[in-house]
Amino acid sequence: MSTPTGEVGPQELLISLIADMVTSNRHVAVGSASPIPGAGALLAQAEATGRMHVTVLQSPRFNSFTDGSRELFDCAAQGRVDTFFLGGVEIDGRANINLVGVGKYPRLEKRFAGSFGSALMYFVVPNIILFREEHTPRTLVERVDFVSAPGVSADNVYRPGGPKALVTGKCVFVFDRARERFSLRSVHPGVSIEEVRASTGFNFDEPEDVFVTPTPSAERLTRIRQRIAPQIAEFYPEFAARVWPLTHGLTK
């Protein structure tokens, strides 16, 4: 569905939000099947006053690695990736993620692609942003059915990386590693705290001040549509055609 001119679409809100979250980074890396984080990282790079490098594995243009994910993993292990994005079929209140399947392991009711490099990246990248556009009790659960990558580790485990935030289609949570809990940071325009609670399967803290996620300025919205949308269309054409069907000749 197209968004009327001047009206901020839900994906555009998330792109703007993610750009603000990574604005001071030196190197932001984005995996496959992540058009919104990819667009947010590219927007931050476009607005950066200093040098900022963005790697998008899905894109030949924005991926300088010649050996695919293995080079990314080496780069991350060397401390040369500041932020990475992870999702999950399920995410629970301790920031555990499940990319394997749902049901009682090993007899899962439904099997998914698997963990790939999530466990490594979760441990070595200092700023992991969990991202799941769907915000329902089936995706944000009390406890994941399978731990593909743990949100927290024992004190005797060396772990420079870990979760910092969880971004969904309804709100932003920040993660307190010491308390092993999420805290509500902001709700998106038109979403109430009560709606967030009803849609979340795990308990979370609610501070006195819960912000409303800021919408992008007219200038930033123009930049998203005129500069970022054509870039994203190069490697996520279906996503771009759905979000910006009237922009730069993008069609369904």
Residues spanned by the domain of 28: 1-86+217-252
User: If DSSP codes are grouped into helix, strand and coil, which group holds residue 101?
Assistant: strand
CA distances from 60 to 68, 169, 202, 208, 234 (A): 10, 28, 38, 45, 9
CA 238 to chain centre: 19
Give me the helix-helix angle, 10-21 and 35-47, nearest 10°.
50
Task: Note the pLDDT tens digit of each residue in 90-115.
Answer: 999 999 999 999 999 888 999 998 88
pLDDT category at 26 given cuts 50, 70, 90 is very high
- Residue 27 CA to residue 126 CA, distance in Å, equals 12
**pTM (2 d.p.):** 0.93
CB 69 within 8 A of CB 47: no
Q: Are residues 97 and 160 in the same domain?
A: yes
Q: Is residue 124 in some structural domain?
A: no
Q: Is residue 123 in some structural domain?
A: no
CB 241 within 8 A of CB 250: yes
- Residue 231 CA to residue 243 CA, distance in Å, equals 13
pLDDT of 122: 98
Q: Is the pLDDT of residue 163 over 50?
A: yes
**Residue 202: CATH number of its domain:** 3.40.1080.10
Q: Please state the domain count of the chain.
A: 2
Task: Note the pLDDT tens digit of each residue in 47-91.
Answer: 999 899 999 998 989 998 888 788 999 999 999 999 999 999 999
Task: Note the pLDDT tens digit of each residue in 181-228.
Answer: 999 999 999 999 999 999 999 999 999 999 999 999 999 999 999 999
Mean pLDDT of the chain: 93
Q: Which residues contact 47 (CB under 8 A, 6 or more apart)?
A: 19, 23, 220, 223
Residue 140: CB atoms within 10 A of its CB come to: 26
